[in-house]
């Protein structure tokens, strides 16, 4: 009996076409999934740490300025592409991030400090505040922003160093996230609640620790921790420089030395990349006259070592408690 022959090529072509279509559909779905993933990009790490907490289990948070020079930072082409890829960008604006602020659009979360309920402080116009601190204790005066638009350029924008301000910022950002991604409302609000609870717990612990502290006089390398000192009524008496990228003249150094002796400064808080020689010179001149030990401790305003915002706070708390 003669076997009937038939050509397998058509079937092979059909199977090949089907396999190709399935692969294309799979790739299309994967691409669509990737495109639908939530991506929020922050300008600086502190904002990223807050955003990251709100996006836990919801989406991805990244930040672009990985330098201590926030105000003069220049973006790379890949960072610009990342900003364009994001669902929206979180920033402070008002030229705080330098040229980066010019890339914000109406969809981004450029936090309006002046219309917020934050407790804003003005930038201090001197480097030495010892006398102001004594007056503050007597008259309870504050360096608060008075709402005068003529003073807008004098606002201290390091608001995240007040944990109370951070709670309000997180609430405002969560509102933006919920409005943009309504299907994720429950997860975002749960994350917000957890973040606020963690911050409040740390605040309470630190306040209890302050009860056992004599709140020693201290100086900072530059005036970036006003919000932290104000919130906890700490004895911050001076800054060594007005701009971290610049030095300080001999006359000012002599005035700072006299103040350190008068106020009995116990510690100087510096930041990553600070001018070691300037601090060493001050300490040596004071040590020569008083034989008093002055500790050099590190506060990182941008939280470079922190994995989340509560950890940023904890690092600052721990370092302060080492002062005395």
What lies within 8 Å, CB to CB, of 304 at 6+ separation is 45, 272
Residue 241 pairs in a beta bridge with: 222
* Higher per-residue confidence, 98 vs 92: 92
Q: In the numeric block, which tokens belong to residue 110? A: 């450029």
Please work out, in degrees rounded to the nearest 5, the angle formed at the alpha carbon of residue 67 by the alpha carbons of 62 and 72.
110
pTM comes to: 0.81
pLDDT recorded at residue 288: 80
Residues 282-299 pLDDT 10s? 898 888 888 788 999 999
> How would residue 305 be classed by pLDDT, with cut points 50, 70 and 90?
very high
> How would residue 94 be classed by pLDDT, with cut points 50, 70 and 90?
confident
Highest mean pLDDT among 7-16, 48-57, 214-223: 48-57
* Mean pLDDT of the 172-198 span: 97
* Higher per-residue confidence, 105 vs 48: 48
Residues 254-269 pLDDT 10s? 999 999 999 999 999 9
Residues 190-213 pLDDT 10s? 999 999 999 999 999 999 999 998
Residues 8-35 pLDDT 10s? 444 544 444 444 444 443 333 333 334 4
DSSP-derived secondary structure for 181-214 = -GGGHHHHHHHHHHHHHHHHHHHHHHHHHHTT--
Q: In the numeric block, which tokens belong to residue 16? A: 């090949």
């Amino acid at each position: 009996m003669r076997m009937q022959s038939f050509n397998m090529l058509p079937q092979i072509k059909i199977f090949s076409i089907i396999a190709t279509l399935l692969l294309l559909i799979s790739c299309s779905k994967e691409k669509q999934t990737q495109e639908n993933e939530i991506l929020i990009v922050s300008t600086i790490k502190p904002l990223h740490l807050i955003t990251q907490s709100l996006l836990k289990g919801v989406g991805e948070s990244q930040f672009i300025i990985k330098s201590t020079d926030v105000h003069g930072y220049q973006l790379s082409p890949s960072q610009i592409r990342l900003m364009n890829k994001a669902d929206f960008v979180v920033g402070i604006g008002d030229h705080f991030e330098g040229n980066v602020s010019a890339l914000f659009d109406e969809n981004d979360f450029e936090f309006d400090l002046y219309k917020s309920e934050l407790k804003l402080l003005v930038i201090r116009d001197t480097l030495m505040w010892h006398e102001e601190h004594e007056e503050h204790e007597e008259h309870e005066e504050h360096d608060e922003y008075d709402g005068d638009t003529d003073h807008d350029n004098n606002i201290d924008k390091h608001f995240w160093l007040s944990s109370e301000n951070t709670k309000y910022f997180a609430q405002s950002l969560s509102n933006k996230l919920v409005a943009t991604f309504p299907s994720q409302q429950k997860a975002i609000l749960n994350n917000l609640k957890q973040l606020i609870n963690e911050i409040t717990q740390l605040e309470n612990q630190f306040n209890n620790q302050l009860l056992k502290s004599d709140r020693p006089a201290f100086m900072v390398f530059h005036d970036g921790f006003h919000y932290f000192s104000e919130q906890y009524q700490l004895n911050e008496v001076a800054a060594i420089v007005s701009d971290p990228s610049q030095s300080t003249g001999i006359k000012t150094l002599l005035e700072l030395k006299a103040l350190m002796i008068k106020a009995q400064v116990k510690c100087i808080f510096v930041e990553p990349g600070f001018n070691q020689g300037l601090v060493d010179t001050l300490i040596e001149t004071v040590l020569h006259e008083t034989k008093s030990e002055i500790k050099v401790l590190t506060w990182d305003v941008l939280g470079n070592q922190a994995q989340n915002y509560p950890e940023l706070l904890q690092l600052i708390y721990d370092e302060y408690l080492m002062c005395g």
